[in-house]
Amino acid sequence: MKPAKAFLALVFGLNGSLACANESTASEVSHLISGALIASAATALADHYDYRVEDRGWVGFWTSVGISFVSESVQVLTSGSSQVHGSALDFGYNLVGAAIGAYVTDRYILQPVVTRDAAGNRTVGVAMQMQF
């Protein structure tokens, strides 16, 4: 379980360092990127440690959103109500980044992709490569 603890330390370290930012474009882009990176990493970890997870993108998304929510809540509680607007803005950009990172990682980076059709049947997409 050491990789999971290292991942959590990295995530809290990254997110904590961005929590005291201002409302500039660079700050909001950094929240967007950190949300995407955390969601991508959590999606990849969900795939690596439990290969039967069909909704690994949702695991990555909610992990990133949860970390951002806790971080911004702590900032508002410690700084007072003057930080609510900035924290809400930071959380919103992190949420958008989490959605992008989890979706791209789940659909385009990780394989195989397990999907269900309208009848409830599961299909698995696998990439094969042959050298001639």
Q: What's the pLDDT tens digit per position in 111-131? A: 766 677 788 887 776 666 677
Which of the four pLDDT bands, split at 50, 70 and 90, describes residue 41? very high
Q: What's the pLDDT tens digit per position in 64-106? A: 999 999 999 998 888 877 778 888 999 999 999 999 999 999 8
Query: What integer pLDDT is reported at residue 2 of this predicted model?
Result: 57
Query: What integer pLDDT is reported at residue 60 of this predicted model?
Result: 93
Query: What integer pLDDT is reported at residue 94 of this predicted model?
Result: 96
Query: What integer pLDDT is reported at residue 121 of this predicted model?
Result: 82
pLDDT at 61 over 80: yes
Helix/strand/coil (H/E/C) assignment for every residue in the chain: CHHHHHHHHHHHHHHHHHCCCCCCHHHHHHHHHHHHHHHHHHHHHHHHHCCCCCCHHHHHHHHHHHHHHHHHHHHHHHHCHHHHHHHHHHHHHHHHHHHHHHHHHHHHHCCCEEEECCCCCEEEECCCCCCC
Query: What integer pLDDT is reported at residue 21 of this predicted model?
Result: 52
pLDDT at 5 over 90: no
